[in-house]
């Protein structure tokens, strides 16, 4: 009898250890913020970039996530396409794809921007990596024709690839002098807070859906 009781105790402990070990080594949900200076945290301090603050906000919600920043200041969609494969590691669950602002500021033809983003979406789909497409809006000084062609490309691509679209990455910040730096374009740390707060529900929905909870 003592031996049987001892065996039962060992069996119980083994179950607990195995279960605990499985939880301890469970992989976090991996997000890559892939974009330009808006994603890179231009002129911001440690912990103030969008990926870092999104990580903190999701962790505060109790989610086991890892948000990796892959923003390059000055990047266009052509530059993003060239570095996509090595910038997004295997095992990534979601890419927040934020590119196009520099194309717009340089007056690059919207059809080229759309073609590059299309190629990126196709490559990520082929790798079974989810995408949250972050849109951008054209500056008014570029004229209505350019704005119509540029602003509509994000919705077209989101529908084509059936991916969620966050219509305007700078929502709540663009045009607010207290939330942008002296250049009038890049968000301050407070601006990043607003951006994260506004995008957070969308990111949570994407995580829930991909985890089978949505």
Q: Is residue 52 part of a domain?
A: yes
Q: Is residue 103 part of a domain?
A: yes
In the prediction, which pLDDT does 16 show? Answer: 43
Over 60: is that where the pLDDT of 32 sits? yes
SS3 content of the chain, % helix, strand, coil (to 5): 55, 15, 35
Q: Is residue 154 part of a domain?
A: yes
Confidence of residue 191 (pLDDT cuts 50, 70, 90): very high
Name the pTM for this structure. Answer: 0.87
Over 80: is that where the pLDDT of 179 sits? yes
**DSSP assignment letter at 26:** P
**Which pLDDT tens digit goes with each residue over 46-79?**
999 999 999 999 999 999 999 999 999 999 999 9
Residue 69 CB partners (closer than 8 Å, separation 6+): 33, 39, 40, 41, 49, 50, 51, 52
Over 50: is that where the pLDDT of 202 sits? yes
Average of pLDDT values for 71-99?
98
* 78 given a catalytic annotation: no
Helix (H, G, I), strand (E, B) or coil at 95: strand
Catalytic residue among 90, 126, 162, 183: 183
Q: What is the CATH number of the domain that holds 93?
A: 3.40.50.1110
Catalytic residue among 36, 75, 186, 193: 186
Q: Is residue 15 part of a domain?
A: no
Q: Is residue 98 part of a domain?
A: yes
- How far is Cα 180 from Cα 189, in angstroms, rounded to an integer? 9
In the prediction, which pLDDT does 46 show? Answer: 97
Over 50: is that where the pLDDT of 13 sits? no
Helix (H, G, I), strand (E, B) or coil at 135: coil
* Average model confidence (pLDDT) across the chain: 91
Helices assigned H by DSSP within 70-168: 77-87, 101-105, 110-126, 144-151, 153-161
In the prediction, which pLDDT does 213 show? Answer: 57
* 37 given a catalytic annotation: yes
* 178 given a catalytic annotation: no
Specify the number of domains making up the chain.
1
| Residue 32 bridge partners (DSSP) | 68, 95
Tokens of 134: 């972050």
Q: Is residue 60 part of a domain?
A: yes
Catalytic residue among 37, 49, 93, 103: 37
Q: Is residue 2 part of a domain?
A: no
Q: Is residue 138 part of a domain?
A: yes
**Containing structural domain, residue 129:** 24-209
Work out the number of other CB atoms within 10 angstroms of the CB of residue 184.
Answer: 9
Q: Are 99 and 35 in contact (CB under 8 A)?
A: yes
């Amino acid at each position: 009898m003592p031996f049987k009781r001892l065996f039962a105790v060992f069996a119980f402990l083994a179950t607990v250890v195995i279960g605990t070990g499985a939880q301890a080594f469970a992989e976090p949900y991996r997000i890559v913020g892939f974009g330009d200076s808006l994603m890179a945290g231009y002129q911001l301090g440690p912990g103030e970039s969008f990926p870092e603050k999104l990580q903190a906000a999701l962790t505060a919600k109790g989610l086991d996530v890892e948000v990796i920043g892959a923003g390059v200041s000055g990047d266009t969609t052509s530059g993003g396409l060239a570095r996509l494969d090595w910038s997004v590691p295997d095992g990534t669950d979601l890419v927040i794809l934020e590119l196009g602002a520099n194309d717009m500021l340089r007056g690059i033809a919207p059809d080229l921007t759309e073609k590059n983003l299309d190629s990126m979406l196709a490559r990520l789909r082929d790798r079974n990596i989810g995408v949250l497409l972050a849109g951008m809006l054209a500056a008014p000084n570029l004229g209505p024709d350019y704005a119509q062609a540029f602003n509509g490309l994000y919705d077209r691509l989101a529908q084509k690839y059936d991916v969620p679209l966050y219509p305007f990455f700078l929502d709540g910040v663009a045009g607010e002098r207290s939330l942008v730096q002296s250049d009038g374009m890049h968000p301050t740390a407070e601006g990043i807070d607003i951006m994260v707060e506004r995008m957070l529900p969308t990111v949570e929905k994407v995580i829930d859906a991909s985890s089978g909870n949505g």
